[in-house]
Amino acid sequence: MFDPNPEEPPNREGIPFLMGVFLDPITGPLTLSRPAAILRRSGTNKTTEIDESVTEDSYSQNELDAHHAQLGWPSPNRLPTKPGDASALGGQRTLGTETWASRRFMVQRVTVNISPEDLRPVESFVDAVEAALCQVTNVLQIQALEKVFATWGHVIPLNMVAGACLAVTGALGTGTALPRGIPPSSPPGNPPYNLADVIDRHLGTTNCFGRRLESRVQGGFSEALLNGGYAGWLSSVIENPSSWTVIKVHRVVPITDILDNKLRTQIEQLYTTTFIHRSPAVGTPHGLGFDSTVHGLRTIERIKIWFSDSRIRDISVTYVGGAVTGPYAFGIKNPESQSDVFVLVSGIVTLGK
């Protein structure tokens, strides 16, 4: 790929890398419209110019993971716990019968690497958090904080790539993998008039999906792709740095990590004391929490519970015959952490380690 103005530095002000991201339990990451933070030192360069084109294929086990893959995000079970999660059970990976696949062609132009210490929350975000914590009851405080996170996001990316991307995601119609060898440029023949068909043609994914989740153009201009093919779209990317957007996210932290210690402690204590009695069977919608009905007719043999001093962190249930549900997130990442095992025998419960 050739840059017509190699000596002209790109304008990075439009790249939304200081925005909070709302993690929707159904549709995945949603970058919000307002910056949640600013750099503590405005003169510090946290971006590096690159000029690489990369094709990435990824496979997901459920639709939510596929939404994350379509946007270049890690799967939900690889993300930190959101503010206010009662436990880490929200990361359950519900397996389906479909194979979800994503192919993404990325024009990578800038990498961004920052740490929480580099960021200072904007005053309006801090004001909103403080106002929420001033509510008279725990329940009202939590309700107010949920509105804050809906406005400012649950997490903020720290390590990411910006540029442009052509992407398609769906459930494979036949086979278990996408075809190899995508076209490097505009294929011959009359161009299609539908944007999804154009993307399929350039990514080599025509007729691959039994059910399509999304076809997406990030960065550059979709009109350029329709009218000028791959070459026209690539020119629109190179000539318009203001159109670049985040196309790959490697690491995020909870948005509360950019707050000062006092506010972080208040939020943690609020959720800990409020959710201490919440059942681990309470999960997020669409099968993302503990589902006791999957093996409802089986006999439970043992239950393993991971816990802290104040709450249950994760759960795993083993049934007679060997079927297992869980752990879901915390127990996967921290298998040797503090836990108890309850072994069930007819008429007896044995507590073990």
Q: Given this model, what pLDDT does residue 189 score?
A: 61
Collect all residues with Cβ–Cβ distance below 8 Å to 131 and sequence separation of at least 6.
Answer: 144
Tell me how far apart the alpha carbons of residues 256 and 264 are, in angstroms, rounded to a whole number: 6
Which residue did the predictor score with more confidence, 333 or 13?
333
Q: Smallest Cα–Cα separation from 88: which of 350, 337, 340, 256?
A: 337
Hey, which of 52-66, 170-184, 287-301, 335-349 has the most confident mean pLDDT?
A: 52-66
Same domain membership, residue 209 and residue 161: yes
pLDDT digits (tens, 9 = 90+) for 189-233: 666 668 899 999 889 998 999 999 999 999 999 999 988 888 999
Question: Is there a domain that residue 6 lies in?
Answer: no
Q: Given this model, what pLDDT does residue 7 score?
A: 38
Share of the chain above pLDDT 90, in %: 49
Same domain membership, residue 226 and residue 79: yes
Residue 188 token pair: 């011959």
Tell me how far apart the alpha carbons of residues 116 and 321 are, in angstroms, rounded to a whole number: 47
Confidence of residue 158 (pLDDT cuts 50, 70, 90): very high
pLDDT digits (tens, 9 = 90+) for 126-140: 999 999 999 999 889
Question: Is there a domain that residue 249 lies in?
Answer: yes
Confidence of residue 141 (pLDDT cuts 50, 70, 90): very high
Q: Smallest Cα–Cα separation from 55: which of 214, 272, 226, 203?
A: 203
User: Averaged over 102-118, what is the pLDDT?
Assistant: 94
Same domain membership, residue 223 and residue 148: yes
Please give the sequence-ordered ranges of beta strands (E in DSSP) within 258-311, or none if there are none: 300-307
Q: Among 29-43, 182-196, 246-260, whose mean pLDDT is lowest?
A: 182-196
Tell me how far apart the alpha carbons of residues 267 and 206 are, in angstroms, rounded to a whole number: 49
Same domain membership, residue 158 and residue 242: yes
Which of these three, 262, 278, 302, is where a domain ends?
A: 262
Question: Is there a domain that residue 5 lies in?
Answer: no
Q: Given this model, what pLDDT does residue 108 score?
A: 96
Which of these three, 246, 262, 278, is where a domain ends?
A: 262
Tell me how far apart the alpha carbons of residues 177 and 273 are, in angstroms, rounded to a whole number: 47
Question: Is there a domain that residue 348 lies in?
Answer: yes
What are the angstrom distances between the C-alpha of 24 and each of 2, 29, 32, 94, 154?
Answer: 38, 6, 12, 16, 9
Order of all β-strands in the sheet with 324-325: 324-325, 312-319, 300-307, 339-345, 348-352
User: Averaged over 271-286, what is the pLDDT?
Assistant: 50
Same domain membership, residue 99 and residue 239: yes
Same domain membership, residue 187 and residue 242: yes
Question: Is there a domain that residue 124 lies in?
Answer: yes
User: Averaged over 160-172, what is the pLDDT?
Assistant: 96
* Full domain range(s) for residue 347: 292-353
Same domain membership, residue 95 and residue 242: yes
- Which residue matches tokens 């920052």? 114
Same domain membership, residue 255 and residue 298: no
Question: Is there a domain that residue 255 lies in?
Answer: yes
pTM of the model: 0.72
pLDDT digits (tens, 9 = 90+) for 63-106: 999 999 999 999 998 999 877 664 444 444 555 678 999 999 99
Question: Is there a domain that residue 281 lies in?
Answer: no
Same domain membership, residue 102 and residue 233: yes
Mean pLDDT estimate for the chain: 82
Does residue 285 have a pLDDT over 70?
no
What are the angstrom distances between the C-alpha of 266 and each of 117, 124, 256, 262, 272?
Answer: 19, 18, 11, 6, 10
Say how many domains are in the chain.
Answer: 2
Same domain membership, residue 132 and residue 45: yes
Which residue did the predictor score with more confidence, 277 or 255?
255
CB 109 within 8 A of CB 3: no
Same domain membership, residue 85 and residue 188: yes
Q: Given this model, what pLDDT does residue 334 score?
A: 82
Does residue 267 have a pLDDT over 50?
yes
Does residue 11 have a pLDDT over 50?
no
Tell me how far apart the alpha carbons of residues 325 and 317 are, in angstroms, rounded to a whole number: 5
Whether residue 157 has a cis bond before it, omega within 30° of 0 = no
Question: Is there a domain that residue 12 lies in?
Answer: no
Residue 5 token pair: 């103005």
If phi > 0 it is left, if psi is from -120 to 50 it is alpha, else beta; for residue 181 that is left
Same domain membership, residue 332 and residue 225: no
Which of these three, 241, 262, 283, is where a domain ends?
A: 262
CB 68 within 8 A of CB 110: no
Which residue did the predictor score with more confidence, 188 or 90?
188
